[in-house]
Amino acid sequence: MKDIYVAAENTTTALGFDTQTLIENIKNGVSGLQLIDNISLSKEVLPLALVDFESLDSKINNSYLYTRFEKLLIHSIAHALNGSDIDISSPDTLLVITTTKGNIELLHTPQKEKFGNERILLHKAAHVVADYFHTVNKPLVISNACISGILGIVYAQRLLQQGVYKNVVVSGADVISKFVISGFQSFKSLSHTPCKPFDSERVGLSLGEGAGTMVLSTNKTSERNIRVVRGASANDANHISGPSRTAEGLFLAISRVLGNESVDYISAHGTATPYNDDMESVAINRAGLAAVPVNSFKAYLGHTLGAAGIIEAIIGIESMKRNELFKSLGSENIGVVEPINVIKENKTHSIEKFLKIGSGFGGCNAAVLFQKG
């Protein structure tokens, strides 16, 4: 078995355009969620974690050629690669793009005239981004609801194991649009105040936008000491829009990754919908992990859909590097059906193994394990 190392990363979010800035904000308890009153997005005032695209534009060459979704990917990939020895245009490197809705806003905004309908097709948008970086290999595009980002990491690990590539750049992004907001509103799953993961008074989720990029490599260097060990996915086979009460799929995904192993820290999906957080507490208990510290980053960055798994895995890796656990913002009075050990304050904690989990519509669930050494 080859070892697969995390070689570089970037997060481009409402809390800054690099991970160090994001982590400083998280440590200070700063949330990227702000109440937004914008009729082109929603009739209701909603907490949203929006990216400062004006600032982002100044960091991208010819930014007018790209949609917001493409700009997030381009910035995040370029920033992750900057200073690393990974050549994205090499035949040994694959680009994996993950997203839930990609350029969907082109369907209903004035941007449609500028970019045309074709860019809504995910492979077209991916091609535009790949061309920016002159990749030789055709990018692999994953669109699997809210586990897209985790699946991107899982597939990168498997492809590297197989030996076809030496490096995989996994980049996930999603932007906030009226389309996405209306959809979650139709499900009555949005909170009118910043979301409160695992809290007894949680009423729904908050949306965010952003990108995350994780570069994985089979090449070990002295700075690379965190490995992607393995990942898995599983379907609940229960309901297309609601989580399983027995947490079947998430439990299976965790079991496939961990077997009987334990971990030092879990980064949960923690969307702050009543059902999701209960379901996660059931899965964590069924897997015998009730005592393991767990948090959600949704109250810092909102739910960034197809980017969430990558952004949150990167934050977890920072926790490993620093041996620090970050407070699960918004989780005040824990109220989930099974007891879990939600992180209430920032604290030092030795982390050798870290598990990222996620779930989404369509009954999909995924988990991926990172380890030091």
Partner 1 sequence: METNYSIINSISITPQSLRCNGKEIFANQGLGFRDYIRDIYKHYAINYQKFFKMDDLCKLGFIAAELACKDFEFTTSQKENTALILCNCNATLDTDSKFVETLDSLPSPALFVYTLPNIMMGEISIRHGFKGENCFFAEAQFDTQFVYNHAKLILDSTATELCLCGWVDFSNEIEFSAHLTLVSKFASINNCIKFTPNNLSELFYK
For binding to partner 1 (CB under 8 A), which residues are involved? 100-101, 104, 107-108, 120-123, 126, 140-145, 151, 155, 158-159, 161-162, 178-179, 182-183, 185-187, 232-241, 248-249, 252, 256, 360-364
Smallest distance, partner 1 to C-beta of residue 291, A: 27
User: Residue 191 or residue 331: which is nearer to partner 1 going by CB?
Assistant: 191
Smallest distance, partner 1 to C-beta of residue 143, A: 5
Asked if residue 96 lies in contact with residue 213, where contact means CB atoms within 8 angstroms, the answer is no
Smallest distance, partner 1 to C-beta of residue 89, A: 20
Q: Are strands 46-49 and 207-208 parallel, antiparallel or unpaired?
A: parallel
Cα–Cα distance between 332 and 202 in angstroms, integer? 10
User: Residue 282 or residue 336: which is nearer to partner 1 going by CB?
Assistant: 282
User: Residue 28 or residue 40: which is nearer to partner 1 going by CB?
Assistant: 40
User: Residue 43 or residue 192: which is nearer to partner 1 going by CB?
Assistant: 43
Smallest distance, partner 1 to C-beta of residue 46, A: 15
- Structure-token match 């009954």, residue found: 363
Smallest distance, partner 1 to C-beta of residue 115, A: 15
Smallest distance, partner 1 to C-beta of residue 194, A: 23
